[in-house]
Structure 1
């Protein structure tokens, strides 16, 4: 409101400040956003700084990545019962996909995390049916057109091969709808399991248990917020869904 802390305290002690028609004599009085403030009988507008909250969730299988969905019983709201602030997910994970999901009320950060033009990496572990050949992986790295969209991964590598399955690590940037599933479908392999293990600097080691929710703090939060300084890349208009 343009007053120093000392001056504001003096006005409160002198009875010059009213909150909702009542004179306040305690400088530590908790003013709410909708309270009517008067100083020396004149109404004043109080601007509040929004408190940003940053969390990471290990989304379990069977939950949709929405806070409210009239068609679904298992929503993010069920997993955020101890969080008072209205948070939004930075992107989405399909109902059958598990792993890292960042939630915050920082719209600028969500934009950076979800817009492909900033090039923030998302890494997944994927289990597919059948034996994947190295030649097939080259197709995923080259990319291809699918229903008018260009699908591509930044990197992909084989971690394990079984009798009738292959486990791989895949790095994504653009994040088109169902993109990982569509990529492997193109080379003839059905996705059996899909888990996001990182999104930018946020790793699943922060929330190893399905359903675990933690606030992002300290140095890891500093790294996350550094992404807001990322400059957009040219010729990229895609957005995560």
Structure 2
């Protein structure tokens, strides 16, 4: 970041860069600067002549990160069951390539969902963001809806949130609630930040209710919403800002969940 005091300043004026990113008009952005609502690399900007390096400087407005690099793509997929979370499955099984044909960029999945699990998966060409969000030590919150066998009781819900031991150590849900129970099965909503392999399936099996169907409905600030199964769409500007803000928070989760990349 450079300031107006440097006559040979390189880079782009802050208000121009933010206007090009679709944040607001230059005049409105100048007002934001005066009001102290914009930060560059964590420092509040007060000078209207501030110049930035769009490729390296990190900008946020009202605490929400701004995407300046328009070459980056962020896509939400509602992955169907039967699809393997890889861009090229070495065994020739159905993979994610069929969902990325609409985009010229080479996209990669952030983390994984196993073939039997459906739901929200992020695809991007932003390697740095993908690495941060997929690493279990970062502890991104995920919300799952599990259809399980048997009638889940209040005592079981309490056990899920209180915690218990699995073969690879203690585990507990951040939140758990029973959504429905009928005809010998139950719907349970689980909120977790753990990145351990197949953790929802292992937790439910451990409390006596094996998973029959599993859907991931939320990943960090992103919600699956009404996106149909098998469809993909680019994130909105608000969603991109929320995801980038999350990825820039250097707050690893508690030790113990950082040994493997997430698979559910």
Q: What band does the TM-score fall into relative to the shorter chain?
A: 0.7 to 0.9
8 Å CA contact 2:138–2:253 kept in 1: the answer is no
Q: Is the alpha carbon distance of 1:72 and 1:172 closer, same or farther for their aligned partners in structure 2, counting shifts above 3 Å?
A: farther
2:223 equivalent to 1:182: no
8 Å CA contact 2:139–2:195 kept in 1: the answer is no
Secondary structure of residue in 2 paired with 1:174:
coil
**Alignment root-mean-square deviation, CA:** 2.4
How far has the Cα of 1:227 moved from its partner? 0.9
Show the counterpart of 1:147.
Answer: 167
How far has the Cα of 1:175 moved from its partner? 2.4
CA distance in 2, matches of 1:117, 1:90: 14
Stretches of structure 2 that go unaligned for 5 or more consecutive residues are: 1-7, 12-54, 56-68
Equivalent of residue 169 in structure 1, options 175, 178, 189: 189
Show the counterpart of 1:61.
Answer: 81
> How many equivalent pairs are there?
197
Show the counterpart of 2:262.
Answer: 240
2:231 equivalent to 1:209: no
2:250 equivalent to 1:231: yes
8 Å CA contact 1:151–1:176 kept in 2: the answer is no
CA distance in 2, matches of 1:63, 1:233: 30
How far has the Cα of 1:54 moved from its partner? 0.6
CA distance in 2, matches of 1:119, 1:55: 21
2:88 equivalent to 1:88: no
CA distance in 2, matches of 1:104, 1:151: 30
Q: TM-score, normalised by structure 2?
A: 0.68
How far has the Cα of 1:81 moved from its partner? 1.6
